[in-house]
Amino acid sequence: MDQSNLQQEEQELDKKNNLNNAEKEIQSLNSDYDKVYQQIAPLVSRAKDLLSEEEYNVLLEEFNALSLEK
C-alpha cells in the first residue's frame, strides 16, 4: 500500500469513529429525553386539576409537540 491509500484508509476509519461517537451521543440524549419525558408526564396529568380547561389544552398540545419532536 502506498501513502495515499493509507491516508484514505485512515480518513475512512476516522469517519466511522466519528459516526459511531455521534450515534452513541444520540442514544444518550434520547435516553435522557425519555427520562425527562417520563418525569413530566405525570405532572402534566396532575395539572388538569389546577388549570382551566383552555390552559390545560395549551399545555397538553405543547407537551405532545415535544414528544413528536423526538
Cell numbers describing residue 66: 415535544
- From residue 23, how far is each of 31, 35, 47, 53, 64 by CA, in Å? 12, 18, 35, 41, 25
State which residues form the domain around 47: 3-69
pLDDT tens for 16-56 read: 999 999 999 999 999 998 898 899 989 988 998 899 999 99
> How many domains is the chain partitioned into structurally?
1
Model confidence at 70, pLDDT cuts 50, 70, 90, reads: low
| pTM of the shown model | 0.60
